[in-house]
Amino acid sequence: MNMKFWAAVLSLIGLDQVTKWVVRQELALGESIPVIPSVMSFTYIENPGAAFGILAGNRGLFIVITLVLLAVLVWYRSQARQRSIWLDSATALIIAGALGNLIDRLVKGRVTDFFDFHVFPIFNVADIAVTCGVGLMVVYILKYESDAKPS
């Protein structure tokens, strides 16, 4: 994996960790500051579970799942039949997001979340990275992997 790839991963992890640090410094746990009233707020919560708070209290399980996911992603990227910006971007985003939330789980035992759109669970920069990365991975698989299979 090249330097640009790892620079992107480290930059995203940095952005994730800095935004979480700012939230923890500026807001009290549970505090909410409206950005666009009735639409979007910054709300500081700490999530001990996975998405939507499911399986709260299973920190060890999430750490193991994250490490396995990271290993699979690195392996998949190394085995890809065709390299593309889609694959590089997807894996960089997923790896960065997974590591950003893994850092929280290892250091604090829970993940700091703060983007609150009132109609969706509260999330963070790492969650955005993972979600966008999975979307790009779907595009890559549909565009490149499906073309490589015999008819």
Per-residue pLDDT reduced to its tens digit, 1-26: 588 999 999 999 999 999 999 999 99
Give the largest CA-CA distance in the chain.
57
Q: Which single residue is written with the structure tokens 């399980």?
A: 61
Q: Is the pLDDT of residue 46 over 80?
A: yes
Amino acid letter, 34: P
Query: For the segment 93-103, what is each residue's pLDDT rounded down to a tens digit?
Result: 999 999 999 99
Which amino acids are annotated catalytic? 113, 127
| Sign of torsion over alpha carbons 38, 42, 45, 49 | positive
Query: For the segment 105-125, what is each residue's pLDDT rounded down to a tens digit?
Result: 999 989 999 999 999 899 999
Q: Per-residue pLDDT averaged across 120-139, rounded? A: 94
Q: For residue 150, give the 3-state DSSP assignment.
A: coil
What distance in Å separates the CA atoms of residue 7 and residue 58, rounded to the nearest whole number? 31
Q: Which of 57, 27, 22, 51 is nearest to 122 (CA)?
A: 51
What distance in Å separates the CA atoms of residue 55 and residue 77, rounded to the nearest whole number? 29
What distance in Å separates the CA atoms of residue 32 and residue 15, rounded to the nearest whole number? 21
